[in-house]
Chain A
Amino acid sequence: MNIIGRLACALALAGTVAGSASAAVAVGQPAPDFTLTDSTGKAHKLSGFKGKTVVLEWNNPECPFVKKHYGSGNMQKQQREATAGGVVWLSVNSGAAGKQGHMDGAKANAHLASTKSAPSAYLIDADGTVGKAYGARTTPHMYVVDGGGVLRYMGAIDSEASTDQDDIPKSTQYVTQALAELKAGKPVSVPTSEPYGCSVKY
């Protein structure tokens, strides 16, 4: 195949893939800015948190992979530790209306209370715009954005792709690790990892 043919293939492929939920973000690049409304009706703009590290956590409370980390308390513990250290933790729900895990503000607030969750805010992204901009494909799917708005981590919550709570003690918690390294001014040692979980219900 000549170079033109190859280019045509590449362009055609790029065109077909762009419409999917493939990630449009990369570690080391600016994280896409967005504004979303939280479960209490308050709007949050990512760039409004300039100077603070922000964690984005894609959430669907009914997904067994999410239940692993909430049932064990792992996620709530990470939320509390992070926010106590000045980090902004944004849970994001990109579940479309009518699909599993979709919640309105009231339902989300009840869910937060019943699971003793402690994010800084629970953002509703029912049309999936922000999820798709980030290429969020699983729940959970985690992103860490530094104070300069640059993406520093994207991927799995931890190193054991499973629904079993028993696996948590032997797992490396990638977000916790990345936050500690960023705080210490070190490079993030694991900046990407293959996300695992349920599909985001776009």
Chain B
Amino acid sequence: MVLRSESTCLIGPTTVATPSGRRVPGPLSLVLSMLLAPAVHALDAVAPPAPEATAPAAAAAPPAQPGPSFRARVEAEHVTAELVGADRVLVPGHTAWFALRLRHEPHWHSYWLNPGDSGQATRLNWQLPEGYSAGAVAWPAPARFDVDGLANFGYADEVLLPVPITVPATARIGDSVPIQLDARWLVCKEICVPGRGSFTLSRVVSKKAAPDPDWNRPIADWRARAPLAAAWSGKATLNGDMVELALQVPANGPVADSLDLFPITPSTLEHARPQFSRERTTLTVLARRSAYYAAPPERLEFVLSSAGGGAWRLSVPFQVASSP
């Protein structure tokens, strides 16, 4: 059975959003798999779009209003958003990783935690049962986009924004737990379109871990793209309208001309790519002070990203040079 729907389709007692042209298992296999597996697993396992999946819309199930539960994928303007989980079950006392997966149309991008000169970071708001808690997004190192001379930091093509969810040690085996996410994003090409989606994945509490065959590996891969916390010593010095960063990097550390810098501390550095130079193990970064700089932060936090792969998250003391 081939379903084609621009918005949502009704499956069994629940509704799910599907991208148009996606092949969906027949109702019987779906019902069976829903009985046998965590509810959304059946949807995660949906085959990729098939070229022949072009049945006219009339052949599709009537579009239904998506219910709040079991909706795991949203087709939004210029981006497809989906909640995915690294594990098929929740293990008491353990951390379960979930991720918001954003697939952008070509040339569209969404934003990192510091969006740069314009734009807005994707925001995740979790609704979890008592005792469960969501950690911070493990933001993958961003890319730089030039928009009419302005700097934007974010992601094109596909990105997974992984988040750890702590399962309480007291979670009861066999319980079905709804993991609910309200996500808001902004996608821009030159123009910008805000989007929003509510997602739910249900997971059963189990003693035994069960990695999700489709998503365990991708989520691990995207977690590995988060900048590593680097313990390199260094300092940032504001001198006039320039900030100089002096960092002691390992001998096999990043090469100056492959680097980019993405500030996390707001209103301190300009977002334009700064100038890098390296002598032996001293990496020097010269950046213009932000026009919105008001007062010295105690520390300057930022991400260094190498074009050859590798990204580091650093926090260095910030000082103002005394006048000569």
Residues of chain A at the chain B interface (Cβ within 8 Å): 1, 5-6, 9-10, 12-14, 16-17, 19-23, 25-26, 62-65, 99-100, 135, 137-138, 154-155, 161-164, 191-202
Q: Do A1 and B242 form a contact, CB below 8 Å, given A23-B291, A199-B118? A: no
> Which residues from chain A contact B192 at a C-beta distance below 8 Å?
63-65, 198
> Which residues from chain A contact B288 at a C-beta distance below 8 Å?
13-14, 17, 22
Q: Do A199 and B117 form a contact, CB below 8 Å, given A10-B242, A64-B194, A163-B186? A: yes
Residues of chain B at the chain A interface (Cβ within 8 Å): 117-120, 147-150, 152, 184, 186, 188, 190-194, 242, 244, 266-267, 270, 272, 274-275, 277, 279, 284, 286-288, 290-294
Please state if A21 and B148 are interface contacts (CB–CB under 8 Å). yes
Please state if A1 and B150 are interface contacts (CB–CB under 8 Å). no
> Which residues from chain B contact A20 at a C-beta distance below 8 Å?
149-150, 272
Selected contact of A1 from candidates B147, B194, B267, B284, CB within 8 Å? B284
Would you give 9 A-B contacts (Cβ < 8 Å), ordered by A? A6-B286, A13-B286, A20-B272, A137-B150, A193-B267, A193-B292, A198-B118, A201-B148, A202-B149
> Which residues from chain A contact B188 at a C-beta distance below 8 Å?
198-199
> Which residues from chain B contact A138 at a C-beta distance below 8 Å?
117-118
Closest chain-B Cβ to A102's Cβ sits at a distance in Å of 12
Please state if B277 and A13 are interface contacts (CB–CB under 8 Å). no
Please state if B186 and A64 are interface contacts (CB–CB under 8 Å). yes
Please state if A22 and B272 are interface contacts (CB–CB under 8 Å). yes
Q: How far is the CA of A64 from the CA of B120 in the complex (A)?
A: 11
Q: How far is the CA of A191 from the CA of B267 in the complex (A)?
A: 13
| Seed contacts A63-B192, A198-B119, A198-B192; 19 additional CB < 8 Å A-B pairs | A6-B244, A9-B275, A9-B277, A13-B286, A14-B288, A17-B288, A20-B149, A22-B270, A23-B291, A63-B191, A64-B192, A64-B193, A64-B194, A138-B118, A163-B120, A192-B292, A194-B267, A199-B147, A201-B190
Closest chain-B Cβ to A29's Cβ sits at a distance in Å of 11
Please state if A21 and B292 are interface contacts (CB–CB under 8 Å). no
**Most central of B150, B274, B277 by chain A CB within 10 Å:** B150
Q: Do A137 and B277 form a contact, CB below 8 Å, given A10-B242, A192-B292? A: no
